[in-house]
Chain A
Amino acid sequence: MLAVGVALIPLAYLATRAGEAGWDRMADELFTARTGELVVRSVALATVVTAACTALGVTLAFLVTRSDLPGRRLLGVLAALPLAVPSYVAAFAWVSTLQGDAGVGSFAGFWAAALVLTLVSYPYVYLPVAAALVGSDPAQEEVARSLGRGPWRTAVGVTLRQVRPAVAAGALLVALYVLSDFGAVSILRVDVFTRAIFTAISLGFDRTGALVLSTVLVALTALVLLAEQFSRRRAARYARLGGGAARPPGRVRLGRLRWPAVLGVAGVLGAALGVPAVSLLRWFGEGVSRPGSLGELADAAANSLGVALLGTGLTMMLALPVGLLSARAPGLLAMALDRLAYLSHALPGLVIGLSLVFFGINVAYPLYQSVWLLALAYAALFLPLAVAAVSAAVAQAPPGLEEVARSLGRRRAHVLRTVTVPLAAPGIGAGAALVFLTCMKELPATLLLRPTGMDTLATGLWTRTSVAAYAAAAPYAALLVLIAAVPTWWLSARTGVLTRTGG
């Protein structure tokens, strides 16, 4: 309940401010041709990126876990790393790379944004699908093969169906992420909702207008959630059957396609990791601005780690009950709580930040501009990432073990602590890692809510790029990506792509 309370802060705030604006103002603001255009463009961008991420993420996951792709272990880990690159860094890298030489047209607009957003967010699909492919039961595939289906038809018809929940969960996160992203769309100049919201505030000093526009994003999110809900099939079985040691699934032979496949994967990684890396190196080399001191950089890194850890701790604490409930006691209540956690997830960080300013000033004043309120903002922003990880992990833990413990007279709470949570621990850890690296990258809410005088890597990067001191900004960007890469590396390693199994 508490967890959902946190997720509701932004919604309560929006309702309050929209209520102040009144219906007339809202109608004026919302029923315009421009709002219609924004809806169409935002939905189109989310659709294109989600489709591309799904195709890319599933293909990559399949190649590294289920084929004899050369170098698949290394590629498998590298494939998750783009998650460590903030979208504003990636977009800026692309722009500066493509516009570096005179004559190249300007890299901007819908398709440019779709490309950059796909490259930074496909790991949301890749990671869970890779994990699901490694963990899925090969029995169904073997049955299909024994009934005469070829290896490719089995892969498409049986294997992919088995990992459908992982695909859907990842795609949902991608869609909501795209709706909420501001970094890439502002640099690449695509007029979508988040950009309109920022424009209203930064040009019109028009907070109310911005918040009224934000209500549309919440409505869009509700639609996305409904669509995802309808796409779920009831009573499907995804868990491994039977006991005994898990047997790794076999691998598809790529044959002549092996090397083209490697080239393709390397191309994706080059675009997603190589372009930002080269661009950062160029920042180092260009210009004479230099970072103030190593001390400043170290302080910022320590602050980033501190607030990200605190935010992760709080988020996981809040996510655990919701995730448990939706996995173990599915029903209308659990579903409603779970969905509510997602509802504010497409709101841009600026709006979440303002809502926490409102909350801090009016409800929790002693916490205002302390790291605790910032941690709370992270929880409001990233709760869905954690809830999804927890409920998936708990759902994969066999309920039979809990039933045995219960039948032996253990109390429910005790069972939860000694059986369920330990079983789900790796999955919960993965959720924590994901939340942690997302907290590290967060900028707008951090700017509004950090304690006065505190700098993090993200705010340090912002401070320096806003005055075009790119050489001074480079160490901040590099350190940010490197630190975020650690949990990302661990995330992809634990999917099992590193294990030396299969043919």
Chain B
Amino acid sequence: MSTPGVRSLSASTLSGLLILGVTGCGTADARQGDGSDKKITVYSGRSESLVKPVLEDFQEASGITVEVRYGDTAQMAAQLQEEGGRSPADAFLAQDAGALGAVAERGLFARLPDEVLDKAAAAYRDDGGEWVGVTGRVRTMVYNVDQVPRADLPGSVFELTEPKWKGKVGIAPTNGSFQAFVTAMRVEYGDARTEEFLTGLKANDAQIREGNAPIVADVDAGRLASGLVNHYYVYELAKEEGTGVDDLEARNHFFPNGDIGSLVNVSGVGVLEKAGDDPDVRAFVDYLLGTGAQTYFAEQTYEYPLVAGIATAPGLPSLSSLNSPDIDLNDLDDLETTVEMINDSGLV
């Protein structure tokens, strides 16, 4: 694949550096192959504050040491692709299905055993069995209770291009979750309808923000009437402000009847090819899908547990009642066209 000339050129010019570095430090740090040595390396695209407690619990319960590397999900996917078969990682814990799909596409993941895959409903795992969902999140419309009467809440996300929402809807077009939502819309309604929706938002003076958190903060402060975000941001805001979620001015509205506006996306985990048979890694995946970790995610990060029989956080409608749109999450890795369409719509 790569141009051998360039690679060997860079190798020969720079091999001197290797010597320099090694003699300079005297010791190259140990990095042997893993095997079942009670030690695993996890790349986490999910943030430290969310998953660290789970990983610590796992270490304590299993006696397996977890070396964890935190980063941005998409940048880690790029890093894994660059590392290829020589990656130090055993497992990749990702924020969204698209990133898992991108790594799986390069053939870097091992196939997971059926008994692992079966713990999550079919909609929330890879059809090829290369990754499995751990938690779910739902796209919602956050609104300010003083500015939007309950009766005015829309039944479908498509209504937001109507004149009565002009200048009142905040979106984060460069955010991954928004992208996944647009891709899902393309899969379900086709590109023409999606393009109409995007240009409609633009024409309706949609308010642009860099991410979900600023939208929720602005809605709560009354600077913005509403916005399209993930469901757990109001909980995070309440936590940061030290109040209950019902005391905020910002509330979640879930689009009814399986509307595309309430798409369910997942965070998930994949196991790298070399660690496919590593019992320590298997124990880690099992732990993520076990009662303890699933309950933790439900109670502490307000995400939806994907394993049956675990209760959701108080105040959230159940996953099944949401009647989520039937979308194959693997299709959400075709984001290139989506990015292009969003760019063309003038929203970015």
Contact = CB atoms under 8 A, between A and B. Distances in A.
B70 A203 contact: no
Interface stretch (A119-127, A250-258, A264-272, A366-374): A366-374
Contacts of B69: 452-453
B13 A8 contact: yes
Nearest to A448: B79
B48 A201 contact: no
A5 B16 contact: yes
A115 to B, nearest CB: 18
Contacts of B15: 363
B115 interface: no
A367 B82 contact: no
A364 interface: yes
Nearest to B99: A205
A6 interface: yes
B148 interface: no
Interface stretch (A144-152, A186-194, A409-417): A186-194
A294 interface: no
Contacts of B174: 199, 202-203
Contact of A205 (B18, B68, B88, B333): B333
B179 interface: yes
B67 A453 contact: yes
B102 interface: yes
B348 A191 contact: yes
A365 interface: yes
Interface stretch (B23-31, B160-168, B317-325): B23-31
A81 to B, nearest CB: 27
B310 interface: no
A470 B77 CA distance: 27
A487 B123 CA distance: 55
B240 A357 contact: no
B10 A12 contact: yes
Nearest to B14: A5
Interface secondary structure of B, over-half rule: helix
Contacts of A210: 78
B47 A463 contact: yes
A367 B28 contact: yes
B14 A469 contact: no
A452 B47 contact: no
Contacts of B101: 205
Given A187-B210, A376-B21, A467 B50 contact: yes
Interface in A85-144: 99, 102, 106
A404 interface: no
Contacts of A407: none
A359 interface: yes
B221 interface: yes
Contact of A363 (B14, B75, B223): B14
B60 interface: no
B221 to A, nearest CB: 6
Given A199-B174, A204-B336, A372-B21, A467 B102 contact: no
Given A350-B75, A354-B82, A463-B70, A12 B9 contact: yes
A362 B101 CA distance: 24
B288 to A, nearest CB: 19
A69 B50 CA distance: 53
B17 A205 contact: no
Given A205-B102, A447-B72, A452-B69, A5 B240 contact: no
A361 interface: yes
Interface string A20-41: 1000000000000010000000
Nearest to B21: A372
B242 A288 contact: yes
B78 A207 contact: yes
A468 B81 contact: no
B1 interface: yes
Contact of B21 (A354, A367, A469): A367
B343 interface: yes
A453 B68 contact: yes
B6 interface: yes
Contact of B7 (A16, A373, A459): A16
Nearest to B70: A463
A313 to B, nearest CB: 9
Given A206-B335, A448-B71, 5 more contacts: A12-B7, A16-B3, A191-B348, A199-B348, A204-B335
10 contacts: A16-B2, A99-B223, A200-B339, A203-B174, A204-B339, A205-B102, A287-B240, A289-B239, A354-B82, A364-B18
> 7 closest A-B pairs (Cβ-Cβ)?
A205-B102, A202-B74, A12-B10, A366-B28, A288-B242, A452-B69, A19-B3
Interface of A: 1-2, 5-6, 8-9, 12-13, 15-17, 19-20, 34, 99, 102, 106, 186-187, 189, 191, 199-207, 209-210, 287-289, 350, 354, 357-359, 361-370, 372-373, 376, 444, 447-448, 451-453, 459, 463-464, 466-471
